[in-house]
Amino acid sequence: MYLLDTNICVALLKQNIFAIKQFNAKASLCYLPTIVVAELYKGVYCSQRVQQNLTILEQFLNLMPIIEFDRSAAEEFGKIQAELRTIGRPTGEIDAIIAAIARSRQDILVTDNTRHFINISGLQQENWLEP
């Protein structure tokens, strides 16, 4: 399964050809965590065209399942934060939550921000924006 990070969702919404090609091939295996959905809604409500962007986002969200942050992911979040603290490479909490969801499910995180996740061991990543 593929967990889509916020930046990949934005690329899909902006019709990025590389992201669209990958998504079309793997759409049935993709999902969004609620934290990414929250970030997407933030983008909509901070935009100049709220109603138009809200309609587009709602259509996009109907394309795939939305997964909640569960107990397994919560435990994984604690492990990730401890691991990163031990090596002196902390990351933002939202990124750690996203990584925890993917790692707890043994899924692939699809992101264009691979540097944010580089120090998280056992996390599989793909960047759909690279040709």
CATH of the domain at 77: 3.40.50.1010
Number of structural domains found in the chain: 1
**pLDDT value at residue 2:** 99
41: Cα within 13 Å, side-chain hemisphere = 9
Confirm if 4 and 112 have CB atoms less than 8 A apart. no
Residue 102 located in a structural domain: yes
pTM over 0.85, yes/no? yes
With 0-12 / 13-18 / 19 or more C-beta atoms within 10 angstroms meaning exposed / middle / buried, residue 37 is: middle
The answer as to whether 10 is a domain residue is: yes
Confirm whether 18 is domain-assigned: yes
Q: Is residue 36 in a domain?
A: yes
Task: Dump pLDDT digits (tens) for 25-46.
Answer: 999 999 999 999 999 999 999 9
Give me the count of residues in the chain: 131
Please state, in angstroms and rounded to a whole number, the distance separating the CA atoms of residues 80 and 75.
9
- At residue 92, the pLDDT reads 93
pLDDT number for residue 105: 98
30: DSSP letter: E
pLDDT at 86: 96
The amino acid sitting at 90 is: P
Which residue numbers in the chain have pLDDT < 50? none
Which domain range does residue 106 map to? 2-126
**Residue 48 corresponds to which tokens in the numbers above?**
């100049």
Is residue 64 situated within a structural domain? Answer: yes
Exposure class string for 5-34: b at 16+ Cβ within 10 A, else e: bbbbbebbbeebeebeebbeebeeebbbbe
**Residue 131 within a domain:** no
